[in-house]
Homo-oligomer: A and B are copies of this chain.
Amino acid sequence: MNNFDFCTPTRVIFGKGVISELPEALGALGKKVLLTYGGGSIKKTGLYEKIIGLLKDFEVYELSGIEPNPKYSTSVVDGVRICKENKIEVILAVGGGSVLDCSKAIAAGAVYDGETWDLITGKVPTKGALPIVDVLTIAATGSEYDCGAVISRTETNDKTAYLDSYLFPVCSILDPTYTFTVSKKQTAAGVADAMSHVMEQYFGNPSTILNDGMCAAAIKSLMINAPVALKEPDNYDARAQIMFVCTLACNGIFSLGNGLSGWPCHGMEHALSGFYDITHGEGLAILTPRWLKHILCDKTVKRIAQFGTEIMGVKSGLSDYETATQAIRKLYDFFVSIGIPMSLKEVGIDEKRIDEMAHHIAINEGLDDPSLFAPLSEQDIKEILIASL
């Protein structure tokens, strides 16, 4: 077991009706609020109106129109400007992972005098951030319980993971009923995203019995509850269990003391959505079975076979290679069964920029570190991308 240093200070208030806690949670942090949200679905569902009603004692400014794969040059820059101009004290993010990630970058930029991009890229250390409260409307990224943000800069095809302990939300308000209206496409992509978060942690070596069991339970819960939520979008228990797993899936608690995997599928997917702006969870679902197939070798086969028997329900009695191969097949079939387009071509990516993306990934993501579970060279990355076409 490896050493670790872990802290997740975020308060999670979870369940039906917990929005009533919002004024108290927010009031403890300030009265001047920047409300951030996306394309306006919260206006259609009535959540916007409900929140504005709860905030009548606050001074509320707004930043709307935050896009999926949130953009530095528009949303982050605008948000930082609004915070500075109006001396905002607390950010209220209402939406999914993109709104939250964007809000985290804004929170850090708001208390820094220079260019926020320098914080995001780590050129300058982050020394503080405005407090963030969020109301989650989609279960997926786990950004509500971690200190990470992924920000895209379109002009350079960059999609950068920004991690800093100042970025933990102070309080996350999670009502599963707000996810009833999430489309089938986004529900499936959110589940795939969370499954990838768990798998990126599971494929670290060494691991512990507790970590392996937590990962297994998280993936099983998603695979059992996703079909229910897709068939009955307002099934509270299925939506709640999915939201619960997604929240715990990305803060590292499932892999404390594990060896490093390097999060290879995320590293590769950041280039796909950085270059083509595709849905993150779909990119991950497309890549993951191809990644597993590519790295399958004598060194990795036991762990992938363990994934097969303990998580994917492959029956016992087969060889390790047969078990691993069946596990990869079952994972692929599951993604198909929840309606995810399982090739890059189906999401609008062809072979034209494969070389360019493979090179971008190889020089930016550190996936060739020999201490990783399965190090990837530029050639490996290229082959995985081609196999995903």
Spell out A's residues near B (CB within 8 Å): 1-18, 21, 176, 208-214, 216-218, 220-221, 224-225, 236-237, 240-241, 244-245, 248, 253, 256-257
With CB as the reference atom, state the residue of chain B lying closest to A13.
B5
Q: Verify A14–B253 contact, CB threshold 8 A.
A: no
Partner of A11 from the list B1, B5, B15 (CB cut-off 8 Å) is B5
With CB as the reference atom, state the residue of chain B lying closest to A168.
B9
Q: Verify A209–B220 contact, CB threshold 8 A.
A: yes
Point out the residues of chain B lying under 8 angstroms from A218, CB to CB: 210, 213
Q: Verify B18–A14 contact, CB threshold 8 A.
A: no
Point out the residues of chain B lying under 8 angstroms from A240, CB to CB: 1, 208, 257
Q: Verify B210–A213 contact, CB threshold 8 A.
A: no
What's the dominant secondary structure at chain A's contact region?
A: helix
A50 to chain B, nearest CB (A): 18
Q: Verify A210–B12 contact, CB threshold 8 A.
A: no
Q: Verify A14–B256 contact, CB threshold 8 A.
A: yes
Q: Verify B209–A225 contact, CB threshold 8 A.
A: yes
With CB as the reference atom, state the residue of chain B lying closest to A4.
B14
Point out the residues of chain B lying under 8 angstroms from A2, CB to CB: 15
Give the distance in Å from the alpha carbon of A11 to the alpha carbon of B208 in the complex.
20
Q: Verify A8–B5 contact, CB threshold 8 A.
A: no
Point out the residues of chain B lying under 8 angstroms from A11, CB to CB: 5-7
Q: Verify B214–A217 contact, CB threshold 8 A.
A: yes
Give the distance in Å from the alpha carbon of A6 to the alpha carbon of B171 in the complex.
10
Point out the residues of chain B lying under 8 angstroms from A257, CB to CB: 14-15, 240, 244
Point out the residues of chain B lying under 8 angstroms from A210, CB to CB: 214, 217-218, 221, 241, 244-245, 248
Give the distance in Å from the alpha carbon of A92 to the alpha carbon of B345 in the complex.
59
A29 to chain B, nearest CB (A): 15
With CB as the reference atom, state the residue of chain B lying closest to A237.
B1
A312 to chain B, nearest CB (A): 14
With CB as the reference atom, state the residue of chain B lying closest to A11.
B7
